Every structure is written in C-alpha cells, then in structure tokens.
Amino acid sequence: MLRLLIIMAFFSIQACSIGNLPTNLSRSMMNQEDPELVRTAAPAYLLMLDALVATYPDDETFLIPAAKLYGAYAGIFSNDEAQTRRMANRAKDYAQRALCESEEDLCEALGQKLEDIQYELEDLDEDELSLIYTYASSWASWIQANSSDWNAVAQLPKVKMLFKWVLSYDTDYDNGTAQVYMGVLESQLPPSLGGRPDLAKLHFENAIRASNGRHLMAKVLYAQQYARLLFEQELHDRLLKEVLAADAKVEGLTLINSLAKQQAAELLADSAEYFE
C-alpha cells in the first residue's frame, strides 16, 4: 500500500515541479527516523528514478540522485550479494553517465593513469563538487560490492584521488561524509601490509569535527575500521557509547544516524569477545 501511494503521488506531480522531486524525496528519506520504512519505500523510488532517467537520459538532475540512492541502498539495505552488486553497478553507471555527459575529458582520463586524472581535475572548480563526489562515492560502493575482484580493488587509488580533490575544495563536504569515505579507504589494510591507519584516524576525526560530533556513522566506522584494526578497545567502546547516548535526529543525517545507533549496539555487544 505504501509503495502504491508513493507511485500515485509521483504521477500526480505537475511537470513544472518534477525537477524538484529527486531532491525533495532524498531530503525526506535522509530525515526519516524509521530505517525500515525507508527500506520498504526505497524500491518504489528507485523505479521512479529509473523511469525519469529513461525519459531524460542525459539530465544530471535525475542521474545523480539515482546514482546516490542505488549506491546507498546497495551499501545499507541490500543483504544479498548478487543484489548488492547489481545495485552498485547501476549506481556507478548512472554516476558515470552524468560525469561523462558533463566532463568528457575527465571521463576519458579515468581509464588512464593517475597523472592523467590529476591533470583533468586541475581544470575543474567547486561547481563540479557534487558531480565528482557522487561518482567517487558510487565508484567506492562498486569496489566494495566487488571486493573479491582484484581488478576492482586495484582502482582504489583513482577513487581516493577524486575524494582528495573534493576535500581540497571543502574539507567538511556533505557533513563530513567525504572524510568518512577517506577514513574507510585508508583503513582497508593494517600497517604491516602497507595500510595507513594514521591517515584513517585523521579523516575520521575530521569528519566528527565537521559535524560537531553529530555524524554518528563517522564514530561507528572509526570504531569498526580503525579501533578494531589496531585493537584499541578503549577508543572503540568510548566511540560506540557516545553514539548510543546521542540524539539521532539531525537535519540530513537522521536516517544514517538511526542506522549507526543500531550498528553501534551490535559492535559494543561483541566488544569483549573481539578484543579478548
């Protein structure tokens, strides 16, 4: 019934306001306190965006929100590996289409060397922040969904370059979420295998600072990706307890904070066994 109502509401919207639909629905979802409601409603919204992209195949107004939601659903709600890969593939495809439509030279450089990508990035400015950030996050989600494929994992340096470019313009971009991405990327390996957890720690702390401590998933991932990697139980438990004690309701972060509180409870319950 809920999905039917959403679809009916969509088709009743006037054509003059259709361009506002993705932004308004995304905002509504991100401010929702009930993750299960979003989980059940999101597939209908995905179908709407697919239809809009099919109607306006070159329009960033629909390609970017479609990429963001497919990537988010793949990373948060999908529990089936095959479905996760399909959704991550769709997210990356939409983001790449938006990027290639707007920045053809960068699009071509992405398949070449790092220095070629850097050269093209130097010609861009803050007007392309949303575009580059969306592609970088979609690409990162795609790599995670295909983590068993070393050809996919080998693309991480290119993704990190895009995120670094975003942070060079705005260190607090997207409530610090760009910093969270970098924190996760820098904590994939322990120091003995060439990882840089010191950089991961810096990025996670920057994310927490950027949101004044209100980005709860930054703290959860700091605990999960960094504290567990280096076996720092005191830091791990403190971060998770802070998340559990915090108010999830924050403009633009309520949904992710609600999910963070759920994950924090699970990690904290497992703490003693993990660190023993």
Instruction: Name the least confident of 13-17, 114-118, 149-153, 218-222.
Output: 13-17
Q: Which sequence spans correspond to the domains of the chain?
A: 20-161, 171-276
Q: What is the DSSP letter of 146?
A: T
Q: pLDDT: is 209 or 21 the higher one?
A: 209
Q: What is the DSSP letter of 191?
A: G
The stretch 175-197 carries a mean pLDDT of 85
Question: Considering the domain 20-161 in this protein, what is its CATH number?
Answer: 1.25.40.920
pLDDT class of 20 with cuts at 50, 70, 90: low
The stretch 149-155 carries a mean pLDDT of 89
pLDDT for res 150? 87
Q: pLDDT: is 16 or 215 the higher one?
A: 215
pLDDT 10s digits, 226-268: 999 999 999 999 999 999 999 999 988 898 999 999 999 999 9
pLDDT 10s digits, 262-272: 999 999 999 99
Q: Which of 150, 167, 142, 158 is nearest to 74 (CA)?
A: 142
pLDDT for res 69? 87
pLDDT for res 129? 94
Structure tokens at 263: 């994950």
The class level of CATH for 171-276 reads mainly alpha
Answer yes or no: same fold for 20-161 and 171-276: yes
**What residues have CB less than 8 Å from 107, skipping those under 6 apart?**
96, 99, 100
> Do residues 194 and 234 lie in contact, with contact meaning Cβ atoms separated by under 8 Å?
no
Mean pLDDT of the chain: 87
pLDDT 10s digits, 124-139: 999 999 999 999 999 9
pLDDT for res 16? 36
Q: Residue 80: left if φ>0, alpha if ψ -120 to 50, beta else—which one? A: beta
pLDDT 10s digits, 32-87: 788 888 788 888 888 888 998 999 999 988 899 889 888 888 887 877 889 999 99
- Listed as own residue / partner, the contacts of 238-242 with beta carbons closer than 8 Å and 24 or more positions apart are 240/264, 240/265, 240/267, 240/268, 240/271, 241/268, 242/213
